[in-house]
């Protein structure tokens, strides 16, 4: 387990290195609320991808919440003690990127995450757009506070959501602090100055909306598995009993998206 000192707090992350890490790209994979790096690693199988494709994977650990013993991230609108204590999780991710870039001369960085981890991926993409190549939040959204923010540069974004997700609904959110996931799509389309009419395709119950940016360098893609619940689609394990029709593999889609940005 790797450790860094960030704002006087010792932070930790699990690091998986490929056979040839120097000059490799980095994926930062953020676990969900109440989860941990080991479950994130097992669910996504990103370490297997690392060995096969020569990509470094870092699995950071969220702050342990005192009330229910759940680890969380501060995405500025969620969640738990990390939010209440105003933990600098974006600073933590920035420190990971700096440290690993110093060690391995990174080719690029993608931040992904599940649920609360995906919410932090949204925020980190905005605040670290000068360091991050792209983001790919899964089963995640944004809050009202995010709408007023703008990244320093347009950023390629891939969002993956479940059409049957009741914790992070795509269309109508019943939670005061969470916007519907479609508003996260709208946000990135706006700040990236994409064309508002997407190219749409559908196959095997998966709807894909592709919003092209005007310069072709910061497209926004939204993948939605219509019958999937609050899951990492295609994941090997699940945190809950949520439905996953296994109609797509989020890890494979994210890697293809990231690889396209590195060309």
Q: Tens digit of pLDDT per residue, the chain (263 long)?
A: 999 999 999 999 999 999 999 999 999 999 999 899 999 999 999 999 999 999 999 999 999 866 556 899 999 999 888 888 899 999 999 999 999 999 999 999 999 999 999 999 999 999 999 999 999 999 999 999 999 999 999 999 999 999 999 999 999 876 667 999 999 999 999 999 999 999 999 999 999 999 999 988 999 999 999 999 999 999 987 666 788 888 899 999 999 999 999 97
Which residue from 151, 134, 145, 148 is spatially nearest to 193, judged by alpha carbons?
Answer: 151
3-class state of residue 260 by DSSP: helix
Q: What is the dihedral of CA 137, 113, 101, 25, to 10 degrees?
A: -70
Going by CATH, does the domain composed of 2-262 fall within 3.40.50.1820?
yes
Residue 7, both tokens: 């704002």
Q: Which residues contact 183 (CB under 8 A, 6 or more apart)?
A: 141, 142, 147
Cβ(71)–Cβ(61) under 8 Å?
yes
Which residue from 104, 101, 103, 105 is spatially nearest to 128, judged by alpha carbons?
Answer: 101
The conformational region for residue 208 under phi > 0 = left, psi -120 to 50 = alpha, else beta, is beta
In DSSP notation, 6-36 reads: ETTEEEEEEEE--SS-TT--EEEEEPPTT--
């Amino acid at each position: 387990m790797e450790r860094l000192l960030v704002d006087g707090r010792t932070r930790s992350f699990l690091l998986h290195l490929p056979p040839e890490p120097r000059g490799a790209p980095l994926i930062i994979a953020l676990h969900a609320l109440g989860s941990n790096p080991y479950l994130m690693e097992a669910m996504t199988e990103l370490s297997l991808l690392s060995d096969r494709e020569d990509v470094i994977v870092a699995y950071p650990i969220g702050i342990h919440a005192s009330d229910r013993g759940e680890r969380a991230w501060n995405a500025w609108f969620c969640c738990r003690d990390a939010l209440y204590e105003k933990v600098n999780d974006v600073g933590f991710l920035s420190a990971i990127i700096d440290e690993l870039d110093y060690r391995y001369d990174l080719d690029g960085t993608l931040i992904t995450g599940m649920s609360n981890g995906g919410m932090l991926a949204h925020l980190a993409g905005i605040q670290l757009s000068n360091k991050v190549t792209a983001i790919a939040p899964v089963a995640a959204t944004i809050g009202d506070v995010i709408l007023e923010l703008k990244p320093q540069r347009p950023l390629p974004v891939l969002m993956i959501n479940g059409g049957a997700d009741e914790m992070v609904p795509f269309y109508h959110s019943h939670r005061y602090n969470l916007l519907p996931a479609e508003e996260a799509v709208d946000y990135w389309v706006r700040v990236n100055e994409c064309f508002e009419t997407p190219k749409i395709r559908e196959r095997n119950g998966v709807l894909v909306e592709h919003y092209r940016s005007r310069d072709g360098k910061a497209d926004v893609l939204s993948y939605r598995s219509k019958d999937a619940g609050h899951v990492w689609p295609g994941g090997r394990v699940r945190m809950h009993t949520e439905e996953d029709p296994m109609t797509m593999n989020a890890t494979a889609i994210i890697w293809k998206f990231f690889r396209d940005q590195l060309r």
